[in-house]
Copies of this chain bind each other. A is one copy, B any other.
């Protein structure tokens, strides 16, 4: 079985989660399988092994599960981007739109130094709203986003185009597309 077949066999559709009418792609079985998890982390960073990545950003909470081992694999530092009120120090924040209303993401003001090279890693690329907001937080600090890397991309939500519009020239890699 190829890595892609293994990953696809361990992503489960859950109907009506988190709300009615939504089909949630549950990656828990993939994470729980040692070979699938290990290969997924390796693949997430595969395009960035030769480029010096200083820090990997993970987005609360499931994003941490992929981004933190990606940072470890790259020998990079890890920076959490979190929902309001979770980070103890002074923060920058960015809002992003949802279907109804908006959410806010925060990062510590001292999380990056100017010129640092930052990879943004998440579990899923949907509309691209959270990833784009995370990138704005990196740019606010004067650091550089060298790429977006995700386990799976929900192609019908056009997140890749949204990222390209806001952050042109930053490569987007996804292990799987649905």
> Which A residues form the contact surface with B (CB < 8 A)?
12, 14, 17-18, 24, 26, 28-29, 31-34, 36-38, 41, 54-55, 58, 60-62, 64-66, 68-69, 71-73, 75-80, 82, 85-89, 108, 110-111
Contact = CB atoms under 8 A, between A and B. Distances in A.
Nearest to A58: B65
A77 B109 CA distance: 33
Copies of this chain, tallied across the complex: 2
Contact of A88 (B24, B37, B76): B24
A92 to B, nearest CB: 14
A88 B17 contact: yes
Contacts of A37: 71-72, 77-78
